[in-house]
Chains A and B, each alone.
Chain A
Amino acid sequence: MPRRSCDFGNKLVFREGFPIVTYVQRAVWLLVACGVALIVLAALPVDAQTAAQATKDPAYRAFPVFGSRLAVWAVAQLHLNFAAFILGVPIFAVIIEAMGWRTGEARYDWLSHELVKLTFAAFSTTALLGALLLFLFVGYYPKFWAYMTSIFFPTYWVYALLFFAETFTVYLWYYGWNWLSGPRKWIHVGLGVLSNLFGTAILVVANSWVTFMMSPAGIDDSGALKGSVWDAMYNFTWMPINIHRLIANIVFGGTICAAYAAFRFLGARTAEERARYDWMGYIGNFIALAAFIVLPFAGYYLGREIYAFNQTMGITMMGGFMSWLWIIQAILIGVLFLGSNYYLWLGMERIPGSERYRKYVPPMLIILTVGFMIWATPRSMVVTLDEARAMGGTHHPLLGFFGVMSAKNTVVNLMILTTFLSFVLYRRANKIARKPWAKTGMVIQWAAFGAAAGVVVFYGVYGYFVESIVRIGFSVYQVLAVLAAIVLVMAIDIPMFKGARTTGQIRWGTIAPHSQYVLILLAVTFTWLMGLMGFARSGIRQHWHVYGVMRDTSVDAATPALGYAANVITLVTLAFFMLVLFIFWLGGLGERGAEAHGHAAPVIAGGRDAER
């Protein structure tokens, strides 16, 4: 029975009436795509064999047309994007499922299932890209891979076993959704937790390889392993990267899920569907934002460990040829902060009672904009001689003061506090606290915000008058002040608004459509930022495969300039989103008629036509 009425036009009616035409078209395109992929895959070993005949034991082979570095770069970035998604999403999916289990609200269970469905579809693509990356290393960088194997061979087995465990657990988690419901739900949630533990362990093992390349440890002067493989794994940057990637994966997963919801919202045909995906987009953004707030702290920890490992590497990263990269990073993070806040402010429009908080938006916007501008101010500019003379040096006499870490640490902490304030206001937009101590609670909350801002600004200014080694330590106090304020405010906020009087129900689905483009902007920006940070992490090794141990003597030993890197990142990000779109479309195929299988989408408040 056709689901749509004929007012959509003849073409649609024809397709609805004869869906086989659409499927045949899609199948043909799918076959063409598979054919092209097969040709490319077949060409690789042929080319590698030809190259192998030319030299018996080569250190490198050349990937046709693009070159080996570009091939590895593209596949590695794609693999990491997918891996981040499938590792990040289950972390919050299981939390949401547990929330649904404990509260009995069906919408949480539906959302969790929806999220796992998305990761499930991306699972095999991640594995495929991982295998392709391995083939590229073995085929085109044999000497490098042989060296890595000489150090990390025992971990390969651990990785493979964990991958099996992860795969089977996720399969059981996904397919057992209905089977393990009701009184057996705790087993199901347990499976979700277990799959996350396996997934995180995989991340940790793979991180040991990549961090060893940056900050090798546990080896002698000749590069051979001295003790056990653990000494090589436990290198300077391993733990910071573990933490940074874990948090970043959650942010990434949140933004992609929010973008998916935005896409579905924009294409929704009923108010109910719009409400459902508006809610999903909000949750995705909330998760991304919550994790994003702590991400800069993990970044500082990583930066500190890079300096602790090797000052030259740290200085090259921040003050050498990569210094401009951090300006681009600042712009991207500024977009993320502004975008997230703007989405929250737009979202408040659909909450009755939020009008009383509108007055806070302009000052918050000013803090974010000024913070963004200061963060993006470079310390020293690459200038012509005339410009340098006019400026009195490579540092601008006034703006140069904003280019140092004291200013940047200060504004990023203030931006985090502002974003947190946005969230707090959003959270209480339709609530009025009824607790007798509410007034005192709010005074303490504002005092916590003020005190944290005071500490941040004080150490920011004080940092200009002390040596750099002392100044670095100040960032810890700034971070602790912000974190303490966040914890204190939430510790008061949760009980204070428990049983609060509501000023009206959130009208899900009535948010302005352009807000959905903000969610897409956030997803694209964060994905691009991941690519950029990957380039930074890899690029600081410069002409070394393994820093200071194994030199890159290939034709691609030079580290490219930012423009080239940005173009590659853009193309790979584009490829990622096209693949994601395709995978989600594939995942959606199974959805047709799925409502009969027990996962009917719940009705979200404000979404019913009758309630509008």
Chain B
Amino acid sequence: MRIPVVVKVGAFAVLVMAAYSGFANSIPQIESKPPQELSLEGGNVTPAQLVKAGGEIFKTKGTCEICHRIGQKGTRAPDLAGIGARAAKTKPGMSAKAYILESLLQPGAYIVEGYPNIMPAVDKPPIALNRSEVWAITAFLESLGGTVDVTLNDIPASVGAGGAAAAAEIKIPGDPKAGEAVFQGKGTCIACHKAGKIGASPVGPDLSQIARIQTPDYIMKKILDPKGAGTVANYPPGVMPQDFGTRLTSKEYVDLVAFLLTLK
């Protein structure tokens, strides 16, 4: 039987593409996931926890490892081994934490000799670390040969504002007033959280400034999937109920989110 040209050519083309696809599937598969937001404000965090969180940000959301190495000279950026001790001596009159913070937030202010001025400000997009994250990464860098003494108060309040503004601004159609009622009533949030003048419970993190330090999508996800969104440092995991998605009506949910977004 004579095979039509279209069949032969088609089979050949499919074979070629299958080979390319097969190869692409045979190599290591790396997905680039959007970074998670870390919130440490309102929690009692130990230096060890802070350093651990900072180390994680160094490798993930901070994307520091793309250029910096610890204990290895990089071609694009300096070796950060011992930076905690070195930072205190780099600029006269400037403490280690002040120098590290300046390097993170205004990288062009001081350029280490032999390296190009290529570092982006970590609190601005696309890295856009929030205030908690800058706090944690500063602590991590201080821990590399120095003493961790950075506090949340050392981090300027303006840090991360750009990132939050840059994130998609979602206008929630809910009613904040009705949401406040859900917070105090059906949602029973008040049993664990403080929200401005409402509530005083220390069981869960203080939400008085939640809209300033967190993105709307995090807040929405945290209500529906508290476990999946992660637990704020120094708070016990698994306390927040998992059933808000079924317990609240969609209107109540939207109202609650609208209320939380007013807490700045």
- Report which A residues bind B (CB closer than 8 A): 55-57, 59, 143, 221-223, 262-263, 266-267, 310-313, 315-316, 319-321, 324, 327-328, 331-332, 382, 467-469, 517, 520-521, 524-525, 528, 539, 542-544, 547-553, 557-567, 569-570, 573-574, 577, 581
Known pairs A524-B13, A551-B166 / 10 extra A-B pairs, C-beta < 8 Å: A469-B116, A543-B32, A544-B126, A550-B166, A551-B168, A552-B34, A553-B216, A564-B29, A567-B24, A570-B17
* Interface membership of B171, Cβ < 8 A: yes
Would you call A263 and B9 a contact (CB within 8 A)? yes
Q: Is B71 interfacial (CB 8 A cutoff)?
A: no
B90 contacts the other chain (CB 8 A): no
Contact, CB under 8 Å: A315 / B168: no
Q: Which residues of B contact A525 (CB under 8 A)?
A: 16, 20
Hey, which chain A residues are within 8 Å of B128, CB to CB?
A: 548
Shortest CB-to-CB span from A492 to chain B, Å, is 38
**Is the Cβ of B126 less than 8 Å from the Cβ of A59?**
no
Interface secondary structure of B, over-half rule: loop
Q: Which of A262, A550, A561 contacts B30 (CB 8 A)?
A: A561
Query: Does A574 lie within 8 Å of B66, measured CB to CB?
Result: no
Complex interface: chain A residues within 8 A of B6 (CB): 263, 267, 581
Could you give 26 example pairs across A and B, Cβ below 8 Å?
Answer: A59-B168, A221-B162, A262-B9, A263-B5, A263-B6, A263-B9, A266-B9, A267-B5, A311-B120, A321-B30, A321-B31, A542-B34, A543-B32, A543-B33, A548-B126, A550-B168, A551-B166, A553-B215, A553-B216, A558-B34, A561-B29, A562-B24, A563-B24, A566-B21, A566-B23, A577-B13
B35-66 contact mask (Cβ, 8 Å, vs A): 1 or 0 = 10000000000000000000000000001001
Task: Provide the B1-24 mask, 1 if CB < 8 A to any CB of A, else 0.
Answer: 000011011001110111011011
A296 to B170, alpha carbons, bound, how many Å?
A: 42
Query: Which residue of chain B has the shortest Cβ distance to A323 in the bound complex?
Result: B30
In the assembled complex, the Cα of A565 lies from the Cα of B8 at a distance in Å of 26
5 residue pairs, one from A and one from B, having the closest CB atoms: A566-B24, A548-B125, A543-B34, A563-B25, A561-B29
Query: How many angstroms between the C-alpha atoms of A174 and B9 in the bound complex?
Result: 29
CA distance A56 to B171 in the complex (A): 10
Complex CA distance for A551 and B17, rounded to whole angstroms: 33
Least CB distance, A12 to chain B, in whole angstroms:
11
Beta-carbon contact of A143 and B173 below 8 Å: no
Question: A55 contacts B173, CB within 8 Å?
Answer: yes
Q: Which of A55, A57, A560, A561 has the most C-beta atoms of chain B within 10 angstroms of its own C-beta? A: A561
* Other-chain contact of B66, A316, A517, A562 (Cβ < 8 Å): A316
On chain A, the residues within 8 Å of B120 by CB distance are 310-312
Asked whether B212 is an interface residue with its Cβ less than 8 Å from the other chain, the reply is: no
In the assembled complex, B118 has its CB within 8 A of some CB on chain A: yes
Given the interface pairs A310-B120, A524-B13, A558-B31, the reply to whether A548 lies near B166 with Cβ below 8 Å is yes
**Chain B positions 61-77 with a Cβ under 8 Å from a chain A Cβ:** 63, 66-67, 75-76
Compute how far the CA of A547 lies from the CA of B21 in the bound complex, rounded to whole angstroms. 28
Contact A521 B25 (CB under 8 A): no
The answer to whether A56 and B173 have CB atoms under 8 Å apart is yes
Q: Note all chain A residues with C-beta closer than 8 A to B28.
A: 324, 382
Q: Quick check: A558 and B32 within 8 Å, CB to CB?
A: yes
Across the interface, name the chain A residue whose C-beta is closest to B128: A548
Contacts of A565 in B (CB 8 A): 24
Q: Which residues of B contact A324 (CB under 8 A)?
A: 27-28, 30
Task: Give the residues in chain A near B124, CB-CB below 8 Å.
Answer: 548
Asked if B217 lies at the interface with its beta carbon under 8 angstroms from chain A, I say yes
Is B167 part of the contact surface with A, judged by Cβ < 8 Å? yes
- Asked if B165 is at the interface (CB within 8 A of a chain A CB), the reply is yes
In-complex Cβ contact of A547 among B66, B118, B126 (8 A): B126
Q: Is A524 in contact with B16, judged by CB distance below 8 angstroms? A: yes
B160 CB, min distance to chain A CBs, angstroms? 13
Please, which residue of chain B has its CB at the minimum distance from the CB of A529? B20
Q: Are B21 and A570 in contact (CB under 8 A)?
A: yes
CB atoms of B125 and A553 under 8 A apart: no
* B248 adjacent to chain A (CB < 8 Å): no
| Chain A residue contacts of B29, Cβ below 8 A | 561-564
Q: Which residues of A contact B116 (CB under 8 A)?
A: 469
- On chain B, the residues within 8 Å of A469 by CB distance are 116
Inter-chain contacts of A549 with B (CB < 8 A): 125, 166
- Tell me if B104 is interfacial: C-beta within 8 Å of chain A: no
Q: Which residues of A contact B34 (CB under 8 A)?
A: 542-543, 551-552, 557-558
State whether A328 touches B9 (Cβ < 8 A). Answer: no
B171 to chain A, nearest CB (A): 6
**Complex Cα–Cα for A58 and B12 (A):** 45
Q: Which residues of B contact A263 (CB under 8 A)?
A: 5-6, 9
Distance (whole angstroms) from the CB of B217 to the closest CB of chain A: 5
A221 to B166, CA, bound (A): 8
Flag whether B127 is at the interface (Cβ < 8 A). yes
- Residues of chain A lying within 8 A (CB to CB) of residue B25: 562-563, 566-567
Chain B: minimal CB distance from A445 (Å): 36
Chain B contacts for A320, CB-based, 8 A: 32, 63, 66
A539 and B32 in contact, given A221-B162, A315-B67 (Cβ under 8 angstroms): yes
B20 touches A566 (CB 8 A): yes
Beyond A59-B168, A543-B34, A549-B166, is A528–B12 a contact (Cβ under 8 Å)? no
Which of B63, B119, B170 sits near A553, CB closer than 8 Å? B170
Q: Could you tell me if A517 and B12 are in contact, using CB atoms closer than 8 angstroms?
A: yes
**In the complex, residue of chain B having the shortest beta-carbon distance to the beta carbon of A565:** B24
Cβ–Cβ contact A520 & B13, under 8 A: yes
Cα-based distance from A242 to B32 in the complex (angstroms): 28
A313/B173 contact (C-beta < 8 A), A557-B34, A573-B17, A574-B17 known:
no
In the complex, what's the smallest C-beta–C-beta distance from B140 to chain A, in angstroms?
19
B118 pairs with A311, CB closer than 8 A: yes
Q: How far is the CA of A266 from the CA of B21 in the complex (A)?
A: 27
Q: Decide: A57 and B20 in contact? CB cutoff 8 A.
A: no
Report yes or no: A570 in contact with B9, Cβ–Cβ below 8 A.
no
The CA-CA distance from A520 to B171 in the complex, in Å, is 51
Write the B145-179 contact mask toward A (1 if CB under 8 angstroms, else 0).
00000000000000000100111101101000000
A469–B115 alpha-carbon span in the complex (Å): 10
Query: Do A310 and B126 form a contact, CB below 8 Å, given A558-B34, A567-B21?
Result: yes
B75 touches A468 (CB 8 A): yes
In the assembled complex, the Cα of A467 lies from the Cα of B115 at a distance in Å of: 10
Measured CA separation A310–B119 after assembly (Å): 9
For residue B168, which residues in chain A have a CB less than 8 angstroms away from its CB?
Answer: 59, 143, 550-553
